[in-house]
Amino acid sequence: MNAPIVTIFGGSGFVGRYVARRMAKRGWRVRVAVRRPNEALFVRPYGDVGQVEPVQANIRDDASTRRAMQGATAVINCVGILQENSRQSFAGVQVEGAARIARLAAECGAERLVHISAIGADTGSDSAYARTKAEGEAAVKAAFPTVTILRPSVIFGPEDEFFNRFAGMARLSPILPLVGAETKFQPVYVDNVAEAACRAAAGEAAPGVFELGGPHVYSFTELMEMMLAETRRRRLLLPVPFFVARIIAGLLDLGQTLSFGLIDNRVLTRDQVRLLRHDNVVAEGASGLAELGVAPISVGSVIGEYLYSYRPKGQYDAITESAARLKG
């Protein structure tokens, strides 16, 4: 009961669950702040009985947000969205929500705040996602000047929405259209991001901005080739010109608007097309994983551990290949 408390907003999400697990291993009492705690009960086994608990909080509401962080030594904000819908906007989540967490963390006396943003955050960006990420950073700094901001590149891991999404598409389609085929990425392992957040929350990192990327830079095409090799599938990678992508995304966005959100555009948005025009890599001279004492893990050493399920015969694919060689 004397262990320090950390409140993790979005602690049941892709990144948040790894942060929660690592903070529990460090001996902290962990509050996983989510809108629907009953859907986050799976986090409880991350620690001893009662060590990790989901609590109700809505970052659009002062009272529940404040209640979730009362008595917390550290607060970590993992909340973010990749696209807007009828219920959530970039401004509402990534600016107003982030500002509320920072303001109330300061009012509640939290010693440290960790805010997860994204590489490419820029107030001058033509992308609403990147622009609101930067506006959120500015609002957080104003409310909590000693904040540690983490800007990861595309994050990969067993529950990611990147490799899993395209591997799922490759299972169904002989063609994979690529918008921004030559755009560069520096994928970072989810557990590396979690360890960086935990070190900052524990006071093992100086306040400031850290850009997190893996050990290698790849083009979008190279990443898809790697995915196809791991899933044992041969597919045509078809580069899509940006002007064509804008037309397609515009029609899909229009469908979502005209249906009043009943049709959720999870395929391609105009904002995503704008993002894909820019490389997503660690800036030269930026502080990163090395300064946080975290050794980056490469894409190739991890994705095979979870993409095997997309192979033609799933987990039995390696056995089938071995049997075929014996017959030969």
CB-based burial of residue 21 (10 Å sphere; 0-12 exposed, 13-18 middle, 19+ buried)?
A: buried
State pLDDT tens for residues 192-214: 999 999 999 999 999 999 999 99
Angstrom distance (rounded) from CA 291 to CA 283: 14
* DSSP β-ladder status, 74-77 and 188-189: unpaired
- In terms of Cα–Cα distance, which of 231, 229, 252, 240 is closest to 176? 240
Residue ranges covered by each domain of the chain: 5-156+186-214+279-295
pLDDT by residue, tens only, the chain of 328 residues? 689 999 999 999 999 999 999 999 999 999 999 999 999 999 999 999 999 999 999 999 999 999 999 999 999 999 999 999 888 999 999 999 999 999 999 999 999 999 999 999 999 999 999 999 999 999 999 999 999 999 999 999 999 999 999 999 999 999 999 999 999 999 999 999 999 999 999 999 999 999 999 999 999 999 999 999 999 999 999 999 999 999 999 999 999 999 988 888 889 999 999 999 999 999 999 999 999 999 999 999 999 999 999 999 876 666 666 655 666 5
The pLDDT value recorded for residue 324 is 58
C-alpha torsion sign, points 274, 126, 10, 57: negative
Does the domain made of 5-156+186-214+279-295 have the CATH classification 3.10.20.740?
no
The pLDDT value recorded for residue 261 is 82
Give the DSSP letter of residue 282: P
Three-class SS of residue 27?
coil
The pLDDT value recorded for residue 86 is 80
- In terms of Cα–Cα distance, which of 152, 162, 197, 164 is closest to 21? 197
- In terms of Cα–Cα distance, which of 48, 64, 49, 124 is closest to 97? 64
The pLDDT value recorded for residue 319 is 61
φ/ψ of 214, rounded to 5, equals -75, -175
Angstrom distance (rounded) from CA 26 to CA 3: 10
Would you say 211 and 288 are in contact if contact means Cβ atoms under 8 Å apart? yes
Give the pTM: 0.94
- In terms of Cα–Cα distance, which of 5, 196, 208 is closest to 105? 5
Q: Percentage helix, strand, coil, to 5, in the chain? A: 45, 15, 40
C-alpha torsion sign, points 209, 28, 7, 194: positive
Angstrom distance (rounded) from CA 167 to CA 184: 19
